[in-house]
Amino acid sequence: MWAFLWSFLLLAFNYLLRPIRDAFAVEGATSDRVQLFRNTFLAMTVVVPTWSWLVSRYPRRILVPLAHRLILGCLIVFAFLTGVREELSAEVGRALFVWQAVVNVFLVAVFWSTLADLFREGEGRTLYGLIAAGGTLGALTGSLLMSVWGKEVDVRVWLAVGVVLLEGCVLCMRQLVLAMHTWRTLDGETSVWGVGERPPASGVTEGLRALLRRPVLTAMAGYILVGTTLATFVYLLRLEIVKASGLATAEVRELFAQASLATQVLALVFQATMAGFLLNRFGPGLLLGLVALAYLTGFVSYLLAPGLAVIIGVEILTRASEFGFGRPGREVVYTTVSRAEKYQAKSAIDNWVYRGGDLLGAYGFQLLFARGFLAVEITGLAGAGVGLGLAYWVGRAVERARTRDAHAR
């Protein structure tokens, strides 16, 4: 129950702050947004190695609450700074954008790595689906709150709500450890931490080696790099269209929250009605191909009927496809490699390939947008085509890996 609630509060926190962050990004120029993506990438290059170093030397039971409290302190500072002026200043807004983008990835990674330390493998298989459902409900709740009251309620109030949610995460973590300690004591064990094997070393060098050593991981990394680049194209194109619409900042927050809510609902429909059947029947290649097809459909739609409603619909479709189809498809791919390769590849992909795709997409968009919307659209269509090809490559690589393993047995 405590892990479910922790997941709920964490995703509610992330999706509560996301519209605030995105609304700020609308106010800047294209070059300013590129700088935000660059600064986010640079921040990740500092945060990830630092956290890995700390975890290797100090117990997680101390580091996890401390990390949450430090982030909570930063949020209080942001709330205070927004109270000094009626709206976020440019400097504070830039800092909030980068901070939220880094914290979003960091806290989710810390959450799942903590559960990996607490739960045995069999327990994880049984409970992870339910725990992930808590996160989905949290994302829906955060998006719903902002979509209903985002325009009426002051930003400082939402930041204060974020403080409460983060403190709730710390409480859930402590209660989860106490509950696990009770269960382990009944089993005759003295500690709840590290009940499973420790993850192998997953630095930059090990991660890159894992990606290059296995063709299926190389294909996956290429697919994610292209997909993240296309997602950044859609994200920045949406910001340009929203900026041109002349909406007020509060209206922008409300619009983005409503789009996020629609995304979560559609993703839930995809997961509940289609993803499992398609994955079992056709394999991960088809699911990954559906995400690329969503981008292809989106760019064609905007090319034929450009406008605010269309670009919002494109982002809803592409993000819901990524959540509903892309994530389950990718997790299956990781089952075809060893445990060490899985940890190393996931670390490299989740931290470097994703953020590298963001950076590539931001600089690529800036270069193309200077030549007009058509240049962005054509490049997006070409990228979606490449994504389809890479999805097919991933699917074939998975089938070859399964055939090889079957012959080995």
pLDDT at res. 128: 60
Mean of the pLDDT values across residues 381-408? 84
Reported pTM:
0.83
Residue 82 in this model has a pLDDT that exceeds 80: no
Residue 191: band (very low, low, confident or very high) from pLDDT cuts 50, 70, 90: very low
Average model confidence (pLDDT) across the chain: 83
pLDDT at res. 3: 84
Contact (CB, 8 A) for 315 and 262: no
Residue 320: band (very low, low, confident or very high) from pLDDT cuts 50, 70, 90: very high
pLDDT at res. 237: 94
Residues 6+ apart with CB under 8 A from 126: none
DSSP code string of 191-255: --TT-SPPPPP--HHHHHHHHHH-HHHHHHHHHHHHHHHHHHHHHHHHHHHHHHHT--HHHHHHH
Residue 29 in this model has a pLDDT that exceeds 80: no
How many CB atoms are closer than 10 A to CB 88? 21
Please state which of the ranges 49-58, 117-126, 176-185 shows the lowest mean pLDDT: 117-126
Q: How many CA atoms lie within 13 A of 278 on its CB side?
A: 19
Contact (CB, 8 A) for 43 and 98: yes
Contact (CB, 8 A) for 274 and 282: no
Residue 307: band (very low, low, confident or very high) from pLDDT cuts 50, 70, 90: very high
Task: Spell out the domains of the chain, with CATH numbers in brackets.
Answer: 1-189 (1.20.1250.20), 205-409 (1.20.1250.20)
Residue 202 in this model has a pLDDT that exceeds 60: no
Residues 6+ apart with CB under 8 A from 43: 98, 102
Highest mean pLDDT among 25-29, 112-116, 212-216, 234-238: 234-238
Token pair of 37 as six digits: 């993506």
Residue 230 in this model has a pLDDT that exceeds 80: yes
Residue 190 in this model has a pLDDT that exceeds 50: no
Highest mean pLDDT among 33-47, 103-117, 137-151, 367-381: 367-381
Q: Hey, what amino acid is at 294? A: A
pLDDT at res. 196: 42
DSSP 8-state secondary structure symbol assigned to residue 188: T
